[in-house]
């Protein structure tokens, strides 16, 4: 009985002990976490949404102005070495603009369908310099004859080497190569597309600091800071500040030129700063329609063709990284393999047309115009298609095109300081789809980024004015191929990153490499949004064989 009473006796419950303090592990995040985002959410217009027609036209003109800088740079670099005068330079610029307009239309309609401008590529410069040097010892009756003969040799090389990209693209070779690319490879490949062009930024700006530096500062202040003054001014400054700044600084350069500020300076400063040193306005024809074989019958020489083949390979690698950046800045998904391969094949067809119409170099996806998508936050495909109307119009009406082509190059260099940086940062954003804390990934990223910049810098520093690089064997064609490939930062970064990523514990680190995120986009039907962004217009895909889609 007592035992029962004791058993039923209720004792006061003991006070529960406080839970132990949770100590976060070393290195744990203490701030807000931002989950990965496949598409940028702060774009005003994505790939298939469009601003008003007036804004579309002004934005298209802005794309034309931005791509004009590279066109003028390449023509100014190559034409005098060929023996051409200001009139020849104006005609070369017209041919480059005309083909850029045609190729951009082809790519936005039947290629990647991304809002990318196809502009002249510096990847072909080494091969063109090799052709110029090879013909320098030949006897010609005049410098103009030497120029036309050189252009005919360039035409033949472009025509033959274009089949490299055609085979890579429509033979599905490029699609098979892209299967080895993971987000770990995309980071250096896209990042170096922008970082590798640093020599065209502040070093070119430094040729005329009093024009280039005000352009850079004015663009940053007006486009980024002044937009917050009033809500009405924000969209206008964000989208059109670039044109306004170009107008102000260009007028400032004209005032300095007329005032005589550059009368007693060295010749290089005059060429960079003065607004009247290009002689394009006086030498450009009023109306001139580029036509096939305008320089004469193409000249085919094996030694020239092999070097140009290396440039064609480089342009494919550079375009691939640019396409990934453009897709992200246009609010689209990453381009599938079949889209990339058809775009490279179409790029080869574009190079074939460039050889026929007499362009000085082949084309590639313009990095600066992709950066402009991010600067304006307008990734509309229609805007880029409208820009082709300006390219073709000003390529035909030469006097009007020459007026804008006389903008001093340091102004363009200041713009590139911003636009190339945006593309490089887009490459860095692909890190979010990988394991950032994997030492294996850190190793691949670091080595690929560093070698992607360091190796091309070595090749560029050891390349003379005649185009002879550090590889100097008895085979000139072999030298041209290697010197061209290893002078391209995106190509080197793509090669190094792909090799390391697919040989260092590749099978055991699939998740760390980000493949579960990327693989669905690489397949034709892996993601339902692929058809939305990349299908052909007007149901054209119903009439094209599947292997060519």
pLDDT digits (tens, 9 = 90+) for 279-303: 787 788 889 899 999 999 999 988 8
**15 pLDDT above the threshold of 60:** no
**34 pLDDT above the threshold of 90:** no
C-beta of residue 381 within 8 angstroms of C-beta of residue 114: yes
Supply the pLDDT for residue 3. Answer: 44
**30 pLDDT above the threshold of 80:** no
Residue 31 or residue 541, greater confidence: 31
The tens digit of pLDDT for each residue in 191-246 reads 999 999 998 999 999 999 999 999 999 999 999 998 878 777 788 888 999 999 99
Tell me the pLDDT of the chain averaged across its residues.
89
The tens digit of pLDDT for each residue in 116-140 reads 999 999 999 988 998 998 887 778 8
Q: How far apart are CA 457 and CA 521, in angstroms?
A: 34
What integer is the mean pLDDT of 524-548? 72
Supply the pLDDT for residue 544. Answer: 63
**26 pLDDT above the threshold of 90:** no
What integer is the mean pLDDT of 95-121? 95
Residue 180: CB atoms within 10 Å: 14
Four-residue CA torsion sign, 346, 347, 350, 352: negative
Kindly indicate the confidence band of residue 6, based on its pLDDT and cuts at 50, 70 and 90: very low
**143 pLDDT above the threshold of 60:** yes
Nearest to 360 by CA among 413, 277, 290, 306: 290
Kindly indicate the confidence band of residue 539, based on its pLDDT and cuts at 50, 70 and 90: low
**548 pLDDT above the threshold of 60:** no
Structure tokens at 102: 């045609």
The HSE-up count of residue 241 (CA atoms within 13 Å, CB side) is 24
**540 pLDDT above the threshold of 80:** no
Q: For the ranges 38-42, 204-208, 458-462, 486-490, which has the lowest average pLDDT?
A: 38-42
C-beta of residue 64 within 8 angstroms of C-beta of residue 372: no
Could you tell me what percent of the chain has a pLDDT over 90?
Answer: 65
What integer is the mean pLDDT of 84-95? 92
Q: For the ranges 37-51, 318-332, 340-354, 378-392, which has the lowest average pLDDT?
A: 37-51
Supply the pLDDT for residue 29. Answer: 60
Contacts of residue 119, Cβ cutoff 8 Å, sequence gap at least 6: 67, 70, 71, 100, 363, 364, 365, 366, 369
Supply the pLDDT for residue 469. Answer: 83
Kindly indicate the confidence band of residue 249, based on its pLDDT and cuts at 50, 70 and 90: very high
Q: For the ranges 1-10, 42-51, 255-264, 468-477, which has the lowest average pLDDT?
A: 1-10
What integer is the mean pLDDT of 462-473? 81
Kindly indicate the confidence band of residue 53, based on its pLDDT and cuts at 50, 70 and 90: very high
**10 pLDDT above the threshold of 70:** no
**57 pLDDT above the threshold of 50:** yes
Kindly indicate the confidence band of residue 7, based on its pLDDT and cuts at 50, 70 and 90: very low
Q: For the ranges 11-20, 104-113, 440-449, 523-532, which has the lowest average pLDDT?
A: 11-20
Residue 44 or residue 28, greater confidence: 44
Supply the pLDDT for residue 140. Answer: 86
Nearest to 118 by CA among 307, 293, 287, 326: 326
Residue 221 DSSP label: I
């Amino acid at each position: 009985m007592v035992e029962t009473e004791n058993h039923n006796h209720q004792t006061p419950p003991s006070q529960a002990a406080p839970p132990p303090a949770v100590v976060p592990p070393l290195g744990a995040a203490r701030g807000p976490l931002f989950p990965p985002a496949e598409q940028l959410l702060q774009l005003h217009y994505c790939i298939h949404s469009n601003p008003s027609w007036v804004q579309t036209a002004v934005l298209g003109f802005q794309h034309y102005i931005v791509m004009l800088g590279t066109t003028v740079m390449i023509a100014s670099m190559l034409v005098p070495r060929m023996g051409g005068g200001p009139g020849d330079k104006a005609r070369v610029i017209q041919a480059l603009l005309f083909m850029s307009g045609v190729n951009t239309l082809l790519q936005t309609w039947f290629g990647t369908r991304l809002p990318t401008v196809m502009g002249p590529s510096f990847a072909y410069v080494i091969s063109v310099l090799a052709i110029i040097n090879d013909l320098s010892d030949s006897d010609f009756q005049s410098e103009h004859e030497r120029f036309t003969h050189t252009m005919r040799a360039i035409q033949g090389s472009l025509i033959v080497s274009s089949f490299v990209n055609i085979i890579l693209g429509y033979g599905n070779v490029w699609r098979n190569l892209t299967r080895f690319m993971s987000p770990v490879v995309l980071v250096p490949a896209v990042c170096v597309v922008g970082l590798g062009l640093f020599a065209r930024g502040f070093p070119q700006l430094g040729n005329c600091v009093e024009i280039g530096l005000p352009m850079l500062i004015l663009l940053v202040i007006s486009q980024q800071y002044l937009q917050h003054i009033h809500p009405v001014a924000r969209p206008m400054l964000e989208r059109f500040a670039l044109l306004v700044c170009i107008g102000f600084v260009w007028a400032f350069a004209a005032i300095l030129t007329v005032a005589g500020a550059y009368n007693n300076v060295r010749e290089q400063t005059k060429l960079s700063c003065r607004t009247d040193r290009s002689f394009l306005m006086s030498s450009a024809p009023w109306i001139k329609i580029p036509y096939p074989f305008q320089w004469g019958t193409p000249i085919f020489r094996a030694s020239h063709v092999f070097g140009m083949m290396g440039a064609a390979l480089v342009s494919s690698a550079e375009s691939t990284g640019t396409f990934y950046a453009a897709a992200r800045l246009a609010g689209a998904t990453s381009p599938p393999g079949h889209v990339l391969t058809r775009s490279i094949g179409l790029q080869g067809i574009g190079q074939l047309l460039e050889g026929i119409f007499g362009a000085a170099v082949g084309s590639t996806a313009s990095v600066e115009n992709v950066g402009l998508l991010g600067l304006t936050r307008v990734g509309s495909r229609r805007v880029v298609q409208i820009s082709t109307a300006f390219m073709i119009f000003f390529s035909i009406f030469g006097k009007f095109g020459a007026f804008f082509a006389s903008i001093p190059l340091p102004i363009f260099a200041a713009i590139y300081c911003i636009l190339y940086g945006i593309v490089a940062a887009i490459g860095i954003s692909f890190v979010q789809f990988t394991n950032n804390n994997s030492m294996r990934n850190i190793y691949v990223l670091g080595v690929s980024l560093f070698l992607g910049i360091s190796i091309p810098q070595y090749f560029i520093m050891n390349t003379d004015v005649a185009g002879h690089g550090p590889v100097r064997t008895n085979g000139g064609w072999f030298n041209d191929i290697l010197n061209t490939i290893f002078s391209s930062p995106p190509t080197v970064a793509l090669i190094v990153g792909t090799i390391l990523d697919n040989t260092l514990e590749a099978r055991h680190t699939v998740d760390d490499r980000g493949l579960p995120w990327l693989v669905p986009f690489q397949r034709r039907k892996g993601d339902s949004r692929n058809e939305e962004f990349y299908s052909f217009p007007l149901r054209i895909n119903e009439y094209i064989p599947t292997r060519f889609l």
